[in-house]
Structure 1
Amino acid sequence: MPEGDTVWQAASRLHGALAGKVLTLSDLRVPKYATADLTGRTVLDVTPRGKHLLTRIEGGLTLHSHLRMDGSWKVYATGQRWTGGPAHQIRAILGTADRTAVGYRLPVLELLRTADEHRAVGHLGPDLLGPDWDPDQALANLLADPTRPLGEALLDQRNLAGIGNVYKSELCFLLGATPWLPVGALPAERAARLPALAKRLLEANRDRLVRSTTGSRGQDLFVYGRAPRPCLRCRTPVRVADQGDGSRERPTYWCPGCQSGPAPVPNASRRTPRRTTH
């Protein structure tokens, strides 16, 4: 699932393959940009910003993409078979003399003036893996609406950029709070360490092929994807429920033994909370 660490890895691969090289192939398969031709221009850099990718190109242009749930960028050597999916799922092709980057299932793809990048990413909060990281600002953003559920606040990229559903569930577990706990009800000492903990998790995984929050090989995550298996700490069955407004699937995992705060009652609407205790 693409989150800040996955996007950082994608940017690193694309930068290594394209940066400093002249484009010999350009094909943007989005109606608005179908006639855009970037061939002959040099790729300057590929930069991640939260869950966004900014491919900067000579002439003051930026190709902005977002992976969301299913998107990916694959890099192939000349003559190598493309294996990222069927041809109809390809949204972008950027080729150089020796490498070809292919964007599959990209839900967001737009060509911007580099000077206008703020239109795409200006709303984002401090980037957990970026040079603009500011833990104090991230915490202030999270606490600005104290009644908001912790899990929803963590997913809001305007608060801090890079957290997705996996890290949301794992962070809430490590903080000992359910994702439905109002963020203002999180004890002050735990709230204070939240930004540093989030940054440590993403930094630890940005160079890993297999994401891990536990440090234990073979048991990579504490709660995400583990329902109804026993919690790694207390052996209570891990639970799962949707969180959010219902506009998209947000499966959220938690341990009712290790995490305190409101949580959905089993077999009831996710909007009906109950209290759990340690």
Structure 2
Amino acid sequence: MTVITETHLRAEMLKGTLSNPYFISHQHRLTPAARDFLRDRGIKIEVMGSNSIQNIVQTKEWRIPVGVSNRHVHLSPHDVEVLFGKGYELTPYRPLSQPGQFAAEETVTLVGPKGILSRVRVLGPARELTQVEISRTDGFTLGIHPPVRLSGSIEGTPGITLVGKVGSITISQGVIVAKNHVHMSPDDAKEFKVKDGDRLMVQAISDRPVVFPEVVVRVNERFTLDFHIDTDEANAANLRTGDFVKVIGKNGELFRARA
């Protein structure tokens, strides 16, 4: 959860990025002083629901909440048992932004040709195939150089060794740098006028307004609106989970400036 303080709001005001209404998501919490700051300036607070962007559309600017994804592992049921014990099931630690997904209490150690990464979080529930998602910086530490891929596209990717509480496995492929993407419900896709597989151009709403020109749209009735980036991308754009990006184009074309 991101805590928004009066100091943060004053900084936004100085940068000219303080909107009215002021949009927050379910991952934000305003301090009492921050609420007073907005109220005293006549700025209305609008909470964006998980399946609707109506309030944002009314401002004639499409915004999407950010979800920063740290290094993590998805495990098959078989590999869960190898790493943690026969009949073992992952233990939910905290829910993720997408319904039914969770960060598990379990962690593993990744062992590469040149180094290791300890306490890498496992995400649940278990999936059909084991997949490891790291940043480019993590790859330098481990001594591997995985390609940028969408989740599930692991053909021809490097492998790695995973060490758990009771065992270890070495996968021959499955390590990727996750391509940035947007999760949308069908209703969200209708509002944004996009379909599964389209590419959005989005810009960070921060003091580093980095543009991400090829953000893949993934549409599913189980999805909640969320823009997923890794830690390298988040640091470059000075974004945190709960921040927003604005949509500035689609499928390689910038939107025309609104009057």
TM tier, smaller: under 0.3
Normalising by structure 2, what TM-score?
0.24
Query: Which has a greater percent of strand?
Result: 2
